[in-house]
């Protein structure tokens, strides 16, 4: 019985780890960018006659929106990390979820007929389907 991780699982784990790192940096950029936009637009509104109160509102809303975007992207980064960890240690649940949600994304990409989107969404689905029955991901634990 081959209990070594298949190369497809290693590639999927590395892809999800890289996605987690990319999403983390994207969250930092989104939070900083939208918050900076809030500060700049708040100062512009404050320059208008009678805009002091509106400036505080605009700055607060856009800064809060930036923090919301950053938090949402960080949640995605955390989910990607757990997917990568699941592929790395040999769990079956990330394969199932990758096939389900990746299949939905692949169908949406096929409706748009964009080759890059089809490849980006299709490759992880094909890799996940190819390791569906691999013994490394289907170990039965006996007590």
For residue 50, count other CB atoms closer than 10 A to its CB. Answer: 8
Band of the pLDDT at 1, cuts 50, 70, 90? very low
Extract the runs of DSSP E, i.e. beta strands, from 74-141: none
Rounded to whole angstroms, the Cα distance separating 51 from 43 reads 9
pTM above 0.85, yes or no: no
- Any residues with CB less than 8 A from the CB of 1 and at least 6 apart, and which? 135
What is the per-residue pLDDT across 64-116, written as a single tens digit (0 to 9) for each? 888 888 999 999 999 999 999 999 998 999 999 999 999 999 999 999 888 99
Q: Output Rg (C-alpha) for the chain, integer angstroms.
A: 22
């Amino acid at each position: 019985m081959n209990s070594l991780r298949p190369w497809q699982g290693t590639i999927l784990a590395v892809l999800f780890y890289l996605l987690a790192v990319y999403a983390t940096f994207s969250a930092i950029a989104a939070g900083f960018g939208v918050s900076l936009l809030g500060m700049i637009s708040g100062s512009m509104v404050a320059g208008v006659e009678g805009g002091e109160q509106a400036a505080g509102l605009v700055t607060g809303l856009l800064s809060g929106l930036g923090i919301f975007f950053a938090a949402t992207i960080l949640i995605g980064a955390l989910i990607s990390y757990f997917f990568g960890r699941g592929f790395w240690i040999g769990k079956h649940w990330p394969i199932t979820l990758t096939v389900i949600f990746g299949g939905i994304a692949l169908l949406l990409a096929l409706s748009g007929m964009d080759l890059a989107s089809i490849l980006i969404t299709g490759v992880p689905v094909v890799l996940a389907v190819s390791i569906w029955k691999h013994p490394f991901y289907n170990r039965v634990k006996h007590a």
